[in-house]
Amino acid sequence: MEYRFNEIEKKWQDQWKADKAYKVSNESAKPKYYVLDMFPYPSGAGLHVGHPLGYIASDIYSRYKRLKGFNVLHPMGFDSFGLPAEQYAIETGQHPAETTKNNIATFKAQLDKIGFCYDWDREVRTSDPGYYKWTQWIFLQLFNSYFCNTQQKARPITELINKYATIGALPRNGKPVAGVHFTAAEWNAYSKKEQEDILMKRRLAFCAYGEVNWCEALGTVLANDEVVNGVSERGGYPVEKKKMRQWYLRITAYADRLLEGLETVEFSESMKEMQRNWIGKSQGAEITFKVVNGESSMVNNESSNSNSSFTTHHSALTVYTTRPDTIFGVDFMVVAPELELVQQIKSASEANAVDEYIAYVKSRSDVDRMAEKKITGCFTGAYAINPFSQQEIPIYISEYVLAGYGTGAIMAVPCGDERDFKFAQHFNIPITNIIGSHFNGEEANATKEAVLENSGFLNGMQMMDASELVLQKLEEQGTGKRKVNYRMRDAGFSRQRYWGEPFPIIWTDGIALPLDAEELPLELPHVDKYGPGPEGEGPLANIKEWTNISPTQRRETSTMPGYAGSSWYFLRYMDPHNTETFCDRKASDYWNQVDLYIGGTEHAVGHLLYSRLWTKVLFDLGLIGYDEPFKKLLNQGMIGGVSEKIFRVGANQNDEANSFAGHSSNSLVIKWHLVNNIPIILRPDDGGDLNYYLFSLSADLDVDSYETSLIRTSLNCVDDGILDIGKYKLHKQENSLHKDVSSYEILLCKDGYYDSKKENWFNYEKKPISPLSFKTIQVPEKMSKRYGNVVNPDDVVGKYGADTFRMYEMFLGPVEASKPWDTKGIEGVHRFLRKLWRLFNDDIKGKVWTDEKATDAELKILHRTIKKIEEDTEKFSFNTAVSAFMICINDLFDVKCHKKEVLEKILILLVPYAPHIAEELWQQLGNDSSILDAQYPTFNPALLVESTKEYPISINGKVRANLSLALDLDQKQVEEIVLQNDVVQKWLEGKDPKKIIYVKNKMINVVV
């Protein structure tokens, strides 16, 4: 009987489904274990072989834990709201709900073929009304909460209202500031709208006008982490700054707790570091400088509610610095051009220049700014007064200072800051050196270890100590205070799109009123057109009857971003069908934190921070019992694709007269399609006729002198690294604008080696080459439909079976490592499974397993394997576990062991990795119950105890001999035996050894 994996896998997948073998209960006497995968976005392209890597790892661990006696929750679902479905809808008119449904069906079919142990009864889809009802509900909890600074946690907003109505909002010390502080009486006298506006500034989900990343092409705003290098992460469209009313989550309030929480979870160091960088906490000081205007036209306006934190009059300029110790080195000030303050301090004589400069800055997009980092700026005509030296310091504006960070203004210390230094040079501002020889006048030196000079009362002090003293003085004078700053901004939470959760908010007379919980879910209305609405609003604004409830009531027309649904999905799995609450407290208490979370690093700052935030808020409000969602995070690497590339040769740089000379590499693409006899040059296989190449060009062509570039072929045209020219021509014909390919010549080139860095060939060796065999060049590249290098797991599973596929993906290397997919090695894993099969069944003889008693040697093989597999699985070292299985089967073959006593234990070890074959052979051994619930074998150390050890004997650290010695020998006995050894004698050359090192059970080293 042979190993017919297709039949076996189908049979058991059906059986397990019928038996509900993966059904998980919330009631169990067993200890719980929660294994979670980052659920996929169901894209139209389906799964490729890279996706399941993490799923396989989590599946192995889940099954392992189950065998170990745990009640294991291992669910799967779909993050099914999002941009691509909507883009597709715009293009094709198909409703996102429809395409999403189809895509999910494809995904599920693909996943099921791999044999995962998901409890599909717990599946969640973020776009289901039954699911997003609770996303909306949690949003309302955020809306109805504020962050209490004394308790450092979220509290119901009603508590704040109570406080305002009874005691008001008064400063803890200092004078009340208008617009910020008020008494209870004042509060009670405010209009409803005024009260709501004040409350909005405290809500955890709030609405505000702010600069957002507006993407015109996508017709929506994007969160900071969705913008990469000034363009949208999805699609790569330009992004501009725009002031709009947006919803936000007040994640900045949780900055400290998000940082502290990292200490309590097992994430990789790099992952934690990324989150820390994103939060970007820094400690420093806010220092207030008095401002004098050049023409002394002092302004005296009330402070505005801009994003600067000005609380005093505009006769002052507050800056944020992490280096208060450099206060005497301040040679100028720089204010962000966007700040309103600029208008108030600019002097009459400079006003024109200032306005011109501001107009210039506005004209520049983020992309421009990043592309060319020019030094630009403009003097305002105003001066600031140094609070210690009382010196007048000129105030400039420049785009290098960001309005959104700190106070939007800096004190510039050119001797200690590179940017300040360059700015000073550019505008010829004299530089004060406060760090003596540390500053060479050529470039700034940001040292923290200098002794201060030219620094008034700080002279002679270490910078570190000076910081503290300056802070104290500032506080005494009331001109500054300690201040912690964060780079992180509040998270933009609205999108001008259709395919997302609608906000359960109705605008009434400009007040955002939440829906009642009973009115949820607020379902997405049906639309016919997905185009944007008027004035930058989303498609929902086009449906008047839905949007305009009454003359005074209007629905919110933006929808929630992609990360809304994924911020809490791990909770819904615990209690997916509950219609009363998002997740019953009993269920979330039972399953508690996710014990193991597996997913890619691409979500390091987005999804992980947001779900950590939501968890903390839910915890603060007493809705769940823990404030970190994920106990341990394992990052799987990305499996990349490999593109099969060939060379195209362009113009000969030296020979103008050549038939294809004179084309720049840019025009090559076109020329290649248009001009006859432009060669595609392929790296040829070994063997064949070198002259063919020279002959066909009838010239002594040196490829090195030509522009060469790599072009992709399609995987379909390549078999085992050899290009099929016929298929390739056909492929080109189908995909080319110019259907006539008859003129394309494919030529051979001398062999050489390929330098991937320079994308060029070097060092041609004169090897004979074959005119008929064309090797392609394999270049690792992202797996993408566009590149034609996608490998579908269905194909691999069809050819080798799910068990082989699972084990092979693990065998490729450590799960955390990124690597390109390469099908070549899969044969080895497949051979292993067939070999395992032959321990039970012979192709000719049929059943070969026996009931005989196992020998000690056989038990030793078994228990060595139990130990190794268990250890490796525990530490997620799945690649070495697979190799341990191979060693075990090889060993059992060597001793011809076909004994059930040994084999059935091996099968249990194998279940997590290759469940189908394990179950099949388990049943063949005569077991009635499923192997999925078998008991994990226990390792018996007694069986592996050895009495002797084959020691390597080294002389001066180099192994020269091996010697089998009893383990209970002491140093002296060992020395005697070792010295009698012939090889040792030879190396000693009659001398006495200086020293003999004997490490029990390890090695022996003789020092001569």
Partner RNA sequence: GCCCAUGUGGCGGAAUUGGUAGACGCAGCAGACUCAAAAUCUGCCAUUCGCAAGGGUGUGAAGGUUCGAUUCCUUUCGUGGGCACCA
User: Where in 66-105 is the site for RNA (CB under 7 A)?
Assistant: none
Token digits of residue 372: 């060319």
Interactions with RNA, residue window 282-301 (CB under 7 A): 282, 284
CB 596 within 8 A of CB 632: yes
Please identify, among the stretches 297-305, 697-705, 859-867, 881-889, the one whose residues bind RNA according to the rule CB under 7 A. 881-889
Alpha helices in 707-825 (DSSP H): 725-735, 793-800, 802-811
Residue ranges with strand state E in 414-524: 480-486, 491-492, 505-508, 511-514
- Closer CB to RNA, residue 101 or residue 369? 369
* Residue 413-452 contact track with RNA, rule CB under 7 A, x = bound: ----x-x---------------------------------
Q: Up-side HSE of residue 836: CA atoms within 13 Å toward CB?
A: 31
Interactions with RNA, residue window 973-1002 (CB under 7 A): 995, 997, 999, 1002
Neighbours of 259 (CB within 10 A): 15
Taking CB under 7 A as the rule, does residue 605 contact RNA?
A: yes
Give, in degrees to the nearest 5, the angle at Cα 238 between 236 and 244: 125
Least distance (Å) between residue 93 CB and RNA = 34
Please identify, among the stretches 65-73, 172-180, 275-283, 651-659, the one whose residues bind RNA according to the rule CB under 7 A. 275-283
| b (16+ CB within 10 A) / e for 132-144 | bbbbbbbbbbbbb
- Closer CB to RNA, residue 558 or residue 879? 879
Least distance (Å) between residue 502 CB and RNA = 30
Taking CB under 7 A as the rule, does residue 944 contact RNA?
A: no
- Closer CB to RNA, residue 564 or residue 826? 826
Residue count, binding to RNA (CB under 7 A)? 79
- Closer CB to RNA, residue 55 or residue 837? 837
Interactions with RNA, residue window 817-856 (CB under 7 A): 817-819, 822, 824-825, 827-829, 831-832, 834-835
Token digits of residue 411: 């004190």
Reference 146, options 607, 623, 620, 628; nearest CA is 620
For residue 557, is it left (φ>0), alpha (ψ between -120 and 50) or beta?
A: alpha
Taking CB under 7 A as the rule, does residue 893 contact RNA?
A: yes
Peptide bond before 521: cis, by omega within 30 degrees of 0?
A: yes
Interactions with RNA, residue window 169-198 (CB under 7 A): none
Token digits of residue 697: 């060009």
Interactions with RNA, residue window 782-811 (CB under 7 A): 811
- Closer CB to RNA, residue 597 or residue 811? 811
Taking CB under 7 A as the rule, does residue 408 contact RNA?
A: yes
Least distance (Å) between residue 351 CB and RNA = 23
Reference 617, options 18, 144, 34; nearest CA is 144
Least distance (Å) between residue 391 CB and RNA = 18
* Residue 466-485 contact track with RNA, rule CB under 7 A, x = bound: -------------------x
Interactions with RNA, residue window 139-158 (CB under 7 A): none
Could you give the C-alpha distances from 861 to 252, 623, 885, 894, in angstroms and in order?
57, 51, 11, 11
Place of tokens 């397990």: 16
Point out which residues pair with 36 in neighbouring strands.
Answer: 597
Interactions with RNA, residue window 348-377 (CB under 7 A): 369-370, 373
Taking CB under 7 A as the rule, does residue 57 contact RNA?
A: no
Least distance (Å) between residue 692 CB and RNA = 23
Least distance (Å) between residue 750 CB and RNA = 20
Taking CB under 7 A as the rule, does residue 662 contact RNA?
A: no
CB 568 within 8 A of CB 135: yes
- Closer CB to RNA, residue 372 or residue 928? 372
Reference 612, options 263, 105, 990; nearest CA is 263
Interactions with RNA, residue window 218-257 (CB under 7 A): 225, 228
Interactions with RNA, residue window 299-338 (CB under 7 A): 320-323, 336
Least distance (Å) between residue 199 CB and RNA = 28
Could you give the C-alpha distances from 216 to 26, 239, 739, in angstroms and in order?
47, 7, 36
CB 320 within 8 A of CB 285: yes
- Closer CB to RNA, residue 84 or residue 406? 406
Point out which residues pair with 954 in neighbouring strands.
Answer: 959, 1005
| b (16+ CB within 10 A) / e for 544-582 | eebbeeeeeebbbbbbbbbbbbbbbbbbbbbbbeeeeeb
Distance CA 847, CA 845 (A): 6
- Closer CB to RNA, residue 638 or residue 769? 638
- Closer CB to RNA, residue 344 or residue 601? 601
Distance CA 607, CA 563 (A): 6
Taking CB under 7 A as the rule, does residue 280 contact RNA?
A: yes
* Residue 949-968 contact track with RNA, rule CB under 7 A, x = bound: -x-x-x-xxxxx-x------
Dihedral, 840, 846, 847, 852 alpha carbons, nearest 10: -90
Please identify, among the stretches 403-411, 550-558, 584-592, 794-802, the one whose residues bind RNA according to the rule CB under 7 A. 403-411
Taking CB under 7 A as the rule, does residue 971 contact RNA?
A: no
Among 100, 542, 652, 879, binds RNA (CB under 7 A): 879
- Closer CB to RNA, residue 41 or residue 808? 808
Could you give the C-alpha distances from 304 to 510, 565, 957, in angstroms and in order?
21, 36, 76
Among 68, 313, 438, 487, binds RNA (CB under 7 A): 487
Taking CB under 7 A as the rule, does residue 526 contact RNA?
A: no
- Closer CB to RNA, residue 373 or residue 585? 373
Please identify, among the stretches 132-140, 269-277, 568-576, 721-729, the one whose residues bind RNA according to the rule CB under 7 A. 269-277
- Closer CB to RNA, residue 167 or residue 966? 966
Least distance (Å) between residue 155 CB and RNA = 29
Interactions with RNA, residue window 575-604 (CB under 7 A): 601, 604
Least distance (Å) between residue 605 CB and RNA = 6
Please identify, among the stretches 141-149, 162-170, 266-274, 741-749, the one whose residues bind RNA according to the rule CB under 7 A. 266-274
Least distance (Å) between residue 195 CB and RNA = 33
Distance CA 397, CA 337 (A): 5
Token digits of residue 663: 């084309």
Neighbours of 148 (CB within 10 A): 17
**Separation of first and last alpha carbons in the chain:** 61
Helix (H, G, I), strand (E, B) or coil at 131: helix
Interactions with RNA, residue window 725-784 (CB under 7 A): 757
Distance CA 438, CA 451 (A): 9
Reference 489, options 615, 665, 609, 638; nearest CA is 609
Least distance (Å) between residue 60 CB and RNA = 16
- Closer CB to RNA, residue 244 or residue 984? 984
CB 316 within 8 A of CB 480: no
Please identify, among the stretches 397-405, 525-533, 670-678, 700-708, the one whose residues bind RNA according to the rule CB under 7 A. 397-405
CB 417 within 8 A of CB 429: no
Helix (H, G, I), strand (E, B) or coil at 278: helix
- Closer CB to RNA, residue 237 or residue 893? 893
CB 585 within 8 A of CB 67: no
Among 6, 28, 264, 277, binds RNA (CB under 7 A): 277
Please identify, among the stretches 89-97, 168-176, 547-555, 812-820, the one whose residues bind RNA according to the rule CB under 7 A. 812-820
Least distance (Å) between residue 834 CB and RNA = 5
For 362, residues 6+ apart whose C-beta sits below 8 A from its C-beta are none
- Closer CB to RNA, residue 189 or residue 1007? 1007
- 398 CB-contact burial (10 Å; exposed 0-12 / middle 13-18 / buried 19+): buried
